Structure 1
Amino acid sequence: MKQAAMSKGTKGTTSLCKGALSGLSSFLEVRALTMGTMLLVGVWSGYLLTATLLACTATLLLHYLHSKYKYWSTRGVKAPPATLLLGHTLHRLGIKVPFMEFFDDLYYNYNGRDFCGYYDFLQPGLFVGNPEIIKSILGKDFEHFADRRTFDLGKVNPIANDMLTNARGQHWRFIRGIVSPAFTSGKTRRLFPLMNNRALHLLQMAREESKRGRVEARALCGRYTMDSIASCAFGIECDAYSSEAESFPVMAARVMQLSPARALKILVLLVAPKIAEVIQRLGIDFTSPEFHFFRQVVTHTLRMREKRGVRRGDFLDMLVESKMNTKEGLSDNTITAQAILFILAGYDNTANTLALTLHLLAHHPHVQAELRREIAGEMRRNGPQIPHDRLMEMPYLDAVISESLRLYPAAPVIERICTKPYTIAGTSVHLKKGQPVLVPIWSIHRDPHHWPQPDNFMPQRFLGKSRNSITPFSYMPFGHGPRSCIGLRFAMLSVKIGLVHLLTSMKLLPSKESMHPIPLNPRVLTLKPKDGVYINFVECSFEETLEEEIALYPPNNHEGVGLADEISDYHGLSKGVSSLKSRNTNESDVLDFRSSETNSFKLVISD
């Protein structure tokens, strides 16, 4: 019994231990569960808190961004809806929609005919179409808008930084004060013999290409413009046999090409200029090889001319003369910069203007006939030699080019940066220092309020009383004010002399490959034709063409009849216009013109 009792006691103790252990285990499980639950709740609370903080941050950021895009509405100025972060930048650069459409949308739908707002990323800018306000911004109050949008490239590309278009403040004033005298009418006249030689070469190229069929006029005019710039700005004849002459067109073309590497460098310069300086110190050159090439050409040319006493009367000579007439002259870098700017600003715009004018003349044969008659009239007064001053003063020639530039301005948009706080006259609208201002030349030039039938090619807008009635500051193909294009005279001389040489030996006919109106590249801010400019150049006898055109398009006033009779007498035409019966014709009649043998008449344009 004692043993049984002991056994029973042992079992009881064991049972008690087991119970205690079971209780302890349960306690530990509950504790672990509690701690786990607390941990999960804590983690979840952390995530929840983080999510809450992120949501609050995002809400505040969105509120901040939206508040930035209320800048103009809070000031009572209309502005189109802006894309978050980007504003209207993609629209303005022609990436999202053609920039012409964006300008017209602002101009007609958001009060841009007067002024309205827009946004470059988060930066508010003002879009101004009112000629009176434009007059103040570009002229009267220029000191408030003295700079263009530029970036300080002095430490990474000093040559580009010294270009007149990139220079700012006093540096710009210093360069312009020395460069401007090189573009006076008297100095431009000195370039006339060089330009005449290049225009003769243009005619030769047109003859050769026309034998193979229709001519891509944009490429033809580009070669002519490049020849002119090489000769007048760098002292190089591209059709000569030399290493520089061979390399020049290639290097010039590369300057205007945007390779992926160059695009990346530009992006770094725009976003992080300080990083660009560090990269430059590490040996990655932000000055392109083409810039170095042109610097070597200019430096070599200047040294050789100084050594040999050679004078060509070109742009480099003029810069050297201007340099000698000032206390502080231009450095070789600055002279090189202006010569390269000659390429960047002159090549594309001048080639476009000439090619598009040829296209318009081909599609408006009555205008072509009137212009050819004016050329013939100058020959009657001056013989076969047309002096420089008479060429530049020919009214119908000037009207044709002016109307072409109205439709296709060299600068479709002007941009200025506010350099001093400014208030738009008669309003409460204030501009802060650093805010951009856009002037939409494209839209103003095609506004029916200023130009009846704005899409029609009508050179008579720029003749006599019609020209005098043009609204001031509604026509600005080369900009206006102190920062307008100083190469205007050179560009106009280049286009005029090229047109006159071509029209004395060639007829311009439409090509099936070129639509009219000509489609423009919506991604390029220089109004470059999208698919080229194709024209049929037909070599002809000047006298025979004059006679045919007098019959097809007889003058419609007494003065024109008298001139046509005089032209007929001078050029020995078989009939005067007085003996011809007027008849109704349409522009397609010109397609029946017969092609004649090579013209034996030679036009000479004299200095």
Structure 2
Amino acid sequence: MKTRSAIQSFSLRSLALGIVMLAGAASGYVLTAVLLLCASSLLLRYLQDKHAHWRTLGVPSPPATLLVGHTLRRLGLSMPFMTFFDEMYNDYNGRDFCGYYDFLKPGLFIGNPELIKSILVKDFEHFSDRRTFDLGKVNPIANDMLTNATGAHWRLIRSVVSPAFTATKTRRLLPLMAQRAAHLTRLAMEEATKGPVEARALCGRYTMDSIASCAFGIECEALSSDAAAFPKMAAKIFQLSPARALKIVTLLVAPKLAQVVHKLGIDFTSPEFHFFRHVVSHTLRMREESGIRRGDFLDLMMETKANGKEGLSDNTMAAQAILFLLAGYDNTANTLSLALYLLAHHPEAQATLRRELAFAKLSRNGGELTHDHIMELPYLDAVVSETLRLYPAAPVIERICTKQYTIGGTSVTLERGQPVIIPVWNVHRDPRHWTDPLTFKPERFVGRAKDSIIPYSYLPFGQGPRSCIGLRFALLGIKVGLLHLLTAMEVKQSSSSVYPVPLDPKVLTLQPKDGIYVDLKPLEAGIQDAIKGEIDRYPPSGSYDKGLVRELEMFYATEDSNTILKTS
């Protein structure tokens, strides 16, 4: 009996102990769950507070995604970046200014031309740096590029590089560029016999050959080679693959992690970048060994170092060469091919341009145009300017606030390190600045119409000290290419093309998604007969065009009379 009682007592104690232990365990789980819930709530509140910065200042801002803010949309990873910019500009007061978030960091989106002027020029000292990645540990040469350099290092590079792009320097390059443009025309004649021509690929080969030869003395023969390694490698470097996007995000969010990953063997430098670095480094080494000089961009940088001045290291020189090759190739090829595409879809504008080019050549002895004459042709400049308005070389301009800045007339203050976006794409298409903004109208940039353009509403190459230093070179290449092509061929719409051209949402520049197709038709009977036919089909509409037609008719009438006299 006692034994049974003892057993029962032990069982009760065991049960009680078990209940106590279970209760303790349960309360531990509950406590843990409560703590996790509190921590999650605090984290959520913290993240929400970070994305409340602009709301507390009364600045409009689109709804931000938790943690990532607007980064994925801004980089075109979750939607085309143009779509996101349109939303910011039209729906959230981006025409003036509105807020956005790069992950948790607030940034400002500015579309007001007066504010743009302040950011880029008037108050430049507050915004002297572009957005950069610290690539020193993963790609030191890229870290030395002019676009990535900051502060005093940027000023040193700019002072050495800028003299290479003066009007005096680009004048000397006209004969070389004209040779490439003549070669381009011959190649275009051959391509025209095969059907629709993909203008982006054709122009890419021309611009790469021009840049490589004129700027760096590299004869890559891109126009002649079907393989065309330079254009292919340059095109690939702008493609935003998922792997490359992940690397960019890693550099943005966790640069220290990027360094660790790099040490483990993950290369943050693309194969295309390695290709161009090898080519430029080889060219520099050969010139140092041979002493051969061409008077080009590389020579200028090497001379600064040789003269004992504060020059650039070999890595920094290679960085500027690669930057110019890549940026110059993409922008020039894109603009030239888009100009051809727009002229194909607007034959009346093409007729006016051909009249101007023909008259310019006829009015010069031997038909040879100088650098200054080409650059000053009004309608040629207008066609290129209007192409750049619709498809700017820099669709987005970014700056970093380098010291605290208050937006004039407001209480909105930017802190050091906060980014600023200027949506050139939207400003160029704003009906407040441009009538019928989506229509191709070169006349906007001719005569008095050009004088009425609102300052800082036209920014294809940026403005201020950090604007594109190679714009003269790029414009010369585009204009010389158009001059040679349009005095030898007619550009017509292709059945393979869609208007307007669809843009690739996965590329951070304004590149066509499926290429740019046009039909090219040689002027078999000569430019004179072509112009006479176009005068009947596309009568002159403006005072400038009417003046061109009068001059051409007088010239052709005189020429025809002389022909009759000679044969009678």
Q: If the length of structure 1 is used for normalisation, what is the TM-score?
A: 0.86
Q: Match of 2:23? A: 41
Cα shift at 1:239: 2.4
Distance in 1, Cα, partners of 2:214 & 2:167: 15
Distance in 1, Cα, partners of 2:223 & 2:379: 39
AA aligned to 2:176 is L
Distance in 2, Cα, partners of 1:473 & 1:326: 40
- 1:349-364 equivalences under 5 Å are 349-364=331-346
1:386 counterpart SS class = coil
| CA spacing shift, 1:522–1:551, aligned 2, 3 Å | same
Q: Match of 1:591? A: none
Q: Match of 1:208? A: 190
Q: Which of 353, 359, 363 is residue 381 of structure 1 equivalent to?
A: 363
| CA spacing shift, 1:149–1:195, aligned 2, 3 Å | same
Give the conservation status (yes or no) of the 8 Å contact 1:295–1:333: no
Distance in 1, Cα, partners of 2:558 & 2:496: 35
Give the conservation status (yes or no) of the 8 Å contact 1:543–1:573: no
| CA spacing shift, 1:570–1:315, aligned 2, 3 Å | farther
Give the conservation status (yes or no) of the 8 Å contact 1:505–1:539: yes
Give the conservation status (yes or no) of the 8 Å contact 1:568–1:575: no
Q: Match of 1:454? A: 437
- 1:328-367 equivalences under 5 Å are 328-367=310-349
Cα shift at 1:35: 1.2
Distance in 2, Cα, partners of 1:483 & 1:136: 13
Cα shift at 1:332: 1.6
| CA spacing shift, 1:569–1:309, aligned 2, 3 Å | farther
Distance in 1, Cα, partners of 2:420 & 2:222: 45
Q: Which of 98, 102, 110 is residue 116 of structure 1 equivalent to?
A: 98
| CA spacing shift, 1:536–1:232, aligned 2, 3 Å | same
Q: Which of 450, 453, 463 is residue 467 of structure 1 equivalent to?
A: 450
Cα shift at 1:315: 2.0
1:508 counterpart SS class = strand
AA aligned to 2:127 is F
Deviations along 1:502-523, one digit per CA (max 9) or x if unpaired, are: 0011101101111111111122
Q: Which of 396, 411, 418 is residue 413 of structure 1 equivalent to?
A: 396
| CA spacing shift, 1:53–1:92, aligned 2, 3 Å | same
| 2:173 is the counterpart of 1:181 | no
Deviations along 1:310-353, one digit per CA (max 9) or x if unpaired, are: 33332222333444566111122111111100122111111111
Cα shift at 1:60: 1.0
Distance in 1, Cα, partners of 2:74 & 2:246: 20
| 2:78 is the counterpart of 1:78 | no
1:34 counterpart SS class = helix
Cα shift at 1:555: 2.1
- 1:138-177 equivalences under 5 Å are 138-177=120-159
Q: Match of 2:476? A: 493
Cα shift at 1:157: 1.7
2:421 counterpart SS class = strand
1:87 counterpart SS class = coil
Distance in 2, Cα, partners of 1:418 & 1:426: 18
Q: Match of 2:552? A: 567
| 2:499 is the counterpart of 1:519 | no
**Unpaired runs of 5+ in structure 2?**
562-568
Q: If the length of structure 2 is used for normalisation, what is the TM-score?
A: 0.92
Cα shift at 1:72: 0.5
Distance in 2, Cα, partners of 1:258 & 1:465: 42
Cα shift at 1:381: 1.8
AA aligned to 2:343 is L
Distance in 1, Cα, partners of 2:32 & 2:222: 73
Distance in 1, Cα, partners of 2:224 & 2:518: 32
Alpha-carbon RMSD across the aligned residues, in angstroms, is: 2.5
With 389-398 and 249-258 compared, the bigger mean Cα shift is at 249-258
Q: Match of 2:565? A: none
Q: Match of 2:566? A: none
| CA spacing shift, 1:402–1:562, aligned 2, 3 Å | closer
| 2:87 is the counterpart of 1:105 | yes
- 1:533-552 equivalences under 5 Å are 533-540=516-523, 541-552=526-537
Distance in 2, Cα, partners of 1:554 & 1:406: 26
Give the conservation status (yes or no) of the 8 Å contact 1:182–1:322: no
With 99-108 and 389-398 compared, the bigger mean Cα shift is at 99-108
Q: How many residues align?
A: 557
Cα shift at 1:154: 2.2
| CA spacing shift, 1:159–1:54, aligned 2, 3 Å | same
Cα shift at 1:397: 0.4
Deviations along 1:47-76, one digit per CA (max 9) or x if unpaired, are: 111111111111111111111111011111
Q: Match of 2:564? A: none
Cα shift at 1:78: 0.9
Give the conservation status (yes or no) of the 8 Å contact 1:233–1:315: yes
Give the conservation status (yes or no) of the 8 Å contact 2:401–2:418: yes
1:438 counterpart SS class = strand
With 326-335 and 423-432 compared, the bigger mean Cα shift is at 326-335
Specify the structure having the higher radius of gyration (Cα): 1
Q: Match of 1:6? A: none
| CA spacing shift, 1:106–1:292, aligned 2, 3 Å | closer
2:338 counterpart SS class = helix
Distance in 2, Cα, partners of 1:313 & 1:180: 15
Distance in 2, Cα, partners of 1:152 & 1:58: 32
Give the conservation status (yes or no) of the 8 Å contact 1:409–1:478: yes
Give the conservation status (yes or no) of the 8 Å contact 2:146–2:154: yes
2:41 counterpart SS class = helix
Distance in 2, Cα, partners of 1:260 & 1:107: 27
Cα shift at 1:373: 0.5
| 2:3 is the counterpart of 1:21 | yes
With 368-377 and 541-550 compared, the bigger mean Cα shift is at 541-550
Q: Match of 1:135? A: 117
| CA spacing shift, 1:506–1:232, aligned 2, 3 Å | same
AA aligned to 1:91 is R
**Unpaired runs of 5+ in structure 1?**
1-18, 577-607
Cα shift at 1:379: 1.4
| 2:279 is the counterpart of 1:310 | no
Cα shift at 1:465: 1.2
Cα shift at 1:558: 6.2
Cα shift at 1:292: 4.8
Cα shift at 1:162: 1.0
AA aligned to 1:508 is V
Deviations along 1:509-539, one digit per CA (max 9) or x if unpaired, are: 1011111111111222211111111100001
Distance in 2, Cα, partners of 1:489 & 1:172: 20
Give the conservation status (yes or no) of the 8 Å contact 1:568–1:574: no
| 2:387 is the counterpart of 1:404 | yes
1:519 counterpart SS class = coil
Deviations along 1:226-278, one digit per CA (max 9) or x if unpaired, are: 111221233122229999x9754555455445567656655554444334445
Deviations along 1:527-563, one digit per CA (max 9) or x if unpaired, are: 1111111100001121111111111122245664453
Cα shift at 1:282: 6.4
Q: Which of 478, 483, 494 is residue 466 of structure 2 equivalent to?
A: 483
Cα shift at 1:79: 0.8
Distance in 1, Cα, partners of 2:275 & 2:297: 18
Give the conservation status (yes or no) of the 8 Å contact 1:179–1:322: no
Cα shift at 1:298: 3.1
Deviations along 1:94-138, one digit per CA (max 9) or x if unpaired, are: 222221121111112111111111111111110111111111111
Distance in 2, Cα, partners of 1:145 & 1:404: 28
1:518 counterpart SS class = coil
Q: Match of 1:598? A: none
Deviations along 1:173-228, one digit per CA (max 9) or x if unpaired, are: 11001101111111111221221111112112211111100001111111111111
